[in-house]
Amino acid sequence: MKKDVLSEQDVYELFPAVDKPGIRRLIRTILRRLKIVDINEVHARHIHLRGAEFARAALSDPAIDVRYVLHGAERLEQMKQDGAFVTVSNHPFGSVDGIMLIDIVGSVRPDYGVLVNGFLSQIGCLKDSFIPVKPPKGISGGSSREDNASGLRELINRLSEGHPVGFFPAGGISIYNARFNSVMDVPWQDSCSKIILHKPVPVYPIYFHGRNSLYFHFLGWLSWAIRSLRIPAELFNKRGHTFHVYIGEPISAETIRQFKGKAHELSLFLYDRTYALRPKRDRRQE
């Protein structure tokens, strides 16, 4: 298995324009300063672990040291008994939220797989827990639908075979929303709802409370590519923090079927059900 999560060569493959002799030294310096070398070291320390075991070890590693308080933990017992189900979650961090999701759900359902893109898809020890896909064009410089066909087929196959899957339906990391003066997901993609409607199963909304640094969001105003390079560093600036994660009541397959032919309405419904899990003091009125 590849020891590094993101190597210097990976950067050149992701961003060919920077693969020039005159700026390679600068790229190496940037990788060090953005803590990418550090995340590679964490990955190497736990490279013998897989899935939820790796996720738990990474979160508790002294270099990361992130904890969470789980609300609605009693629903994990129901997940054990369910066949296929879907989780939908907001995506405030772009890194630690995906790792926490594997630790939480993957610990009771080792067959759980999460659709991810970007940095998370590079974590080799979680390759069996993550289903890689690139965001659509227009979301963080994404790709065409053709690039994602294999990942979408795997999703549908997993559900058909009785395995649970997870979505971050925004397709990208939460951004600052001036209307609500809060960091929130962009409107969720209807493509996720279409998959759910194709194979109606119970849906669990999961809300992660928190956000990335102001510096991260400032970089996002400049360039999605520059912001993406910051994601590994956002793991380390949360060291010693405890986050709150909320699992909501499952939405039944019968309720999902009521949205047949109405993917957009289902997207809005799932978004609202997830953000309704926020602590009351943080909710914003429209």
> DSSP string of 231-252?
HHHHHHTTTT-EEEEEEPPPBP
pLDDT digits (tens, 9 = 90+) for 148-183: 566 677 788 899 999 999 999 998 899 988 787 888
Give the per-residue pLDDT at 118: 61
Containing domain of residue 78, as a range?
8-278
Q: What is the mean pLDDT of residues 224-251?
A: 90
130 falls within a domain: yes
Mean pLDDT of 56-70: 97
Q: What is the mean pLDDT of residues 27-43?
A: 87
Rounded-to-integer distance, Cα 92 and Cα 163, Å:
25
Higher pLDDT: 25 or 194? It is: 194
Residue 7's pLDDT band (boundaries 50, 70, 90)?
confident
**What mean pLDDT value characterizes the chain?**
87
7 conformational bin, left if phi > 0, alpha if psi -120 to 50, beta if neither: beta
C-alpha to C-alpha distance for 275 and 27, rounded to whole angstroms = 38
- Greatest Cα pair distance, the chain, in angstroms, is 59
pLDDT band at 137 (very low <50, low <70, confident <90, very high): very low
So what's the pLDDT on residue 6? 75
255 occurs within a structural domain: yes
Q: Quick check: is 238 in a domain?
A: yes
- Per-residue pLDDT of 73-118, as tens digits, reads 999 999 998 799 999 999 999 889 999 999 999 999 999 999 887 6
pLDDT classification of 140: cutoffs 50, 70, 90:
very low
Q: How many CA atoms lie within 13 A of 126 on its CB side?
A: 34
Q: Which amino acid is at 177?
A: N
Q: Are 116 and 193 within 8 A, CB to CB?
A: no
Domain assignment of residue 285, yes or no: no
* Band of pLDDT at residue 283, cut at 50, 70 and 90: low
pLDDT at 284 over 80: no
Lowest-confidence pick of 40-54, 84-98, 211-225, 233-247: 211-225
In this prediction, residues 193-209 reach a mean pLDDT of 95
Rounded mean pLDDT, 44-68: 96
Residue 1 lies in a domain: no
Contact 112, 83 (CB under 8 A): no
Mean pLDDT of 124-132: 88
Rounded Cα distance between 71 and 48, Å, is: 30
User: At 73, which CATH number?
Assistant: 3.40.1130
pLDDT tops 60 at residue 272: yes
Does residue 284 fall inside a structural domain? no
Domain count, the chain: 1
pLDDT of amino acid 44 = 93
Higher-pLDDT residue of 254 and 11 is 254
Q: Is 84 helix (H, G, I), strand (E, B) or coil?
A: coil
- Tell me, yes or no, whether 58 lies in a domain: yes
Minimum mean pLDDT among 45-49, 168-172, 180-184, 268-272: which range?
A: 180-184
Give domain status of residue 286, yes or no.
no
